[in-house]
Amino acid sequence: MRRWMGNILTLPLGCISITGIAGQWPTIEPPPRSHVAWVGDDMVHNGVPLKVKVFNSENSVNGVLDFYRGQWRDHDKTPVENTVGEWRIIGRQLGDHYLTVQARRHDNGSEGFLAVSTLPAALDGEFLPNTDTPFPRLPGSDVLTNTVSYDLGKRSTTLVFENQASSFANASYYRSNLPVDGWLLRQNDDAQLVSNKGYTMYFEKQGQACHVVITNGTNGGTLVTVNLVTKPSL
């Protein structure tokens, strides 16, 4: 499911749905003629608890949106629609929850996400996205996303940083600083860094694994994606 994570997490937080919760989680009926699988049923994105499924449908994007317009038209809250790049998004409030369907064209049909999110403070207008993390990064780095998920006792954390330092400076920083925290560098490829095709490092320490991927960002900056996996204790 890792290829899906970047697609949903690169969207603005408001497009992924923010609202409060009371009681049980609602569900989103998948569009007709679709295959559905979990991305995560126990996730926290920038401080917002959410559940996300991915779908692949024989319907067009417009067909998917028409399905949810019909499903949700009889409710008090009018669905809200947005377009972000290649993605079409429709969402609606259901009590203290917010439901979002996000779709784009794929082959002869469409693909996308079904997301349900929760956030009590959002109802009072008090919510500030929580992207902070103790994981080290170069000074001046912005934390774009902080996503935590749980699966079979494993905790996975995906972090995305952006800064204006070079790929080389970022790679040197992690090679020097992570071992100080007890991480052992298991794999890296200097040729990737020299060729400017991105750079990948893999670290381990007891019960944990860490991938660091460094790529070119926007406006001449650099993106650093960190994936941390903590294995359950025996």
- Name the average pLDDT for the chain: 79
Q: Determine the Cα–Cα distance for residues 154 and 160; give it in Å rounded to an integer.
A: 20
Q: Kindly state the percentage of the chain with pLDDT values over 70.
A: 77
CA distances from 176 to 24, 36, 169, 170, 182 (A): 46, 42, 11, 10, 11
| Domains, the chain | 2-124 (no CATH), 142-230 (3.30.310.80)
Q: Determine the Cα–Cα distance for residues 119 and 23; give it in Å rounded to an integer.
A: 12
The model's pLDDT over 152-180, given as tens digits with 9 standing for 90+, comes to 778 888 888 999 998 889 999 999 999 99
**21-25, 67-71, 133-137, 157-161: range with lowest mean pLDDT:** 21-25
